[in-house]
Amino acid sequence: MLSLWLNVLASGILLGLVYGLVALGLTIIFGVMRVVNFAHGEMVVFGVYIGYWAVRLWDAPIIVAAAIAAVVMFFFGYLLEALIVKRFVNRPHHYQFIVFIGLSLLFSGVLLVAFGPDPRPSASLLSFRTVSLGFVTLDLARLQAAITAGVLIALLGVYLRFSSLGRALRAAADNRLGGLVVGLNIPRVYAVTFGIGAACAGVAGALISPLFDAQPYLAVDFTLLAFVTVIVGGLGSFSGALLGGLVIGVAEAIAALMFTPSMKTALPYALLIIILIFRPRGFFGAKEI
């Protein structure tokens, strides 16, 4: 019994790290630009398709697929910000909401036209292999995804803290006007931010491509999951996104063990409401939003 619980806990933590990466993308974009990316789930699904095709066409290892997704999605996010999103950064939230809903409809439409509505199971054999570590038996695909996500989160944290661009990002997040005064190139910082956010989503998508069937309709679920994760962790907080991802991942895994499947999907929301009763701004929420 104990080993069953340990297994469930471990697989929850592993998937939670990937959720954390998705949420990190959302939270970085929000923290710097004060924009909520409602098309985040579509970006995750782009990543899933990149992973799917990389494995299918070149039989690429999942790390390579993730690297491709990172590069492609970074430029995608960069261009999207520079061409469209930047025009709406200073508009009220409900206008941004409509724009992002428009983008998300557009993206899911493109995915539907390109790949059709049917789910495509991954060609990767990774999800059938396991690693045994004493008490727990881990699914190799999850383990690889989690390690990659964990390393990336750590690298991103170091990069944001110590590189000059990372400092610029944090400065713009703290005080946009101040950043402009000291000569930050705010439009470029915003475009890079959006690129990083999109890359996080894309990489997470590529990493989970062996676990989920590639399907355009996954996008809404991922968007909502990312929202719940960042609200639980605290919108705009780096460590909050990570912790939120772990909490949601573990909660989902435990719920899958104890309840019916529909309860499993409802649990993150129930958890969110419970957490908001006690910590209204999430674990690491900023004082003023």
Q: By CB under 8 A, name the binding residues for other proteins.
A: 36, 84, 87-88, 91, 93-95, 97-99, 101-113, 116-117, 216, 220, 224, 227-228, 231, 235, 260, 262-263, 265-266, 269-270, 272-273, 276-277, 280-281, 289
> In this structure, is the dihedral angle defined by the CA atoms of residues 115, 96, 231 and 180, taken in order, positive or negative?
positive
Nearer to other proteins, 144 or 193 (CB): 193
Nearer to other proteins, 104 or 193 (CB): 104
Question: Shortest gap between Cβ of 245 and other proteins (angstroms)?
Answer: 16
Structure tokens at 256: 């899958």
Nearer to other proteins, 106 or 125 (CB): 106
For residues 9 and 70, give the distance between their C-alpha atoms in angstroms, rounded to a whole number: 28
Question: Shortest gap between Cβ of 156 and other proteins (angstroms)?
Answer: 23
Question: Shortest gap between Cβ of 57 and other proteins (angstroms)?
Answer: 23
Question: Shortest gap between Cβ of 216 and other proteins (angstroms)?
Answer: 7
Question: Shortest gap between Cβ of 48 and other proteins (angstroms)?
Answer: 16
Residue holding tokens 């806990």? 9
Nearer to other proteins, 109 or 135 (CB): 109
Nearer to other proteins, 142 or 176 (CB): 176
Q: What 3 state SS string does the chain have?
A: CHHHHHHHHHHHHHHHHHHHHHHHHHHHHHHHHCCCCCCHHHHHHHHHHHHHHHHHHHCCCHHHHHHHHHHHHHHHHHHHHHHCHHHHCCCCHHHHHHHHHHHHHHHHHHHHHHHCCCCECCCCCHHHCEEEECCEEEEHHHHHHHHHHHHHHHHHHHHHHHCHHHHHHHHHHHCHHHHHHCCCCHHHHHHHHHHHHHHHHHHHHHHHCCCCCECCCHHHHHHHHHHHHHHHHCCCCHHHHHHHHHHHHHHHHHHHHHCCHHHHHHHHHHHHHHHHHHCCCCCCCCCCC
> What's at 57, amino acid-wise?
L
Question: Shortest gap between Cβ of 49 and other proteins (angstroms)?
Answer: 14
Question: Shortest gap between Cβ of 237 and other proteins (angstroms)?
Answer: 13
Rg, C-alpha atoms of the chain: 18
Nearer to other proteins, 84 or 133 (CB): 84
Nearer to other proteins, 7 or 265 (CB): 265
Nearer to other proteins, 131 or 258 (CB): 258
For residues 289 and 278, give the distance between their C-alpha atoms in angstroms, rounded to a whole number: 18
Question: Shortest gap between Cβ of 22 and other proteins (angstroms)?
Answer: 15
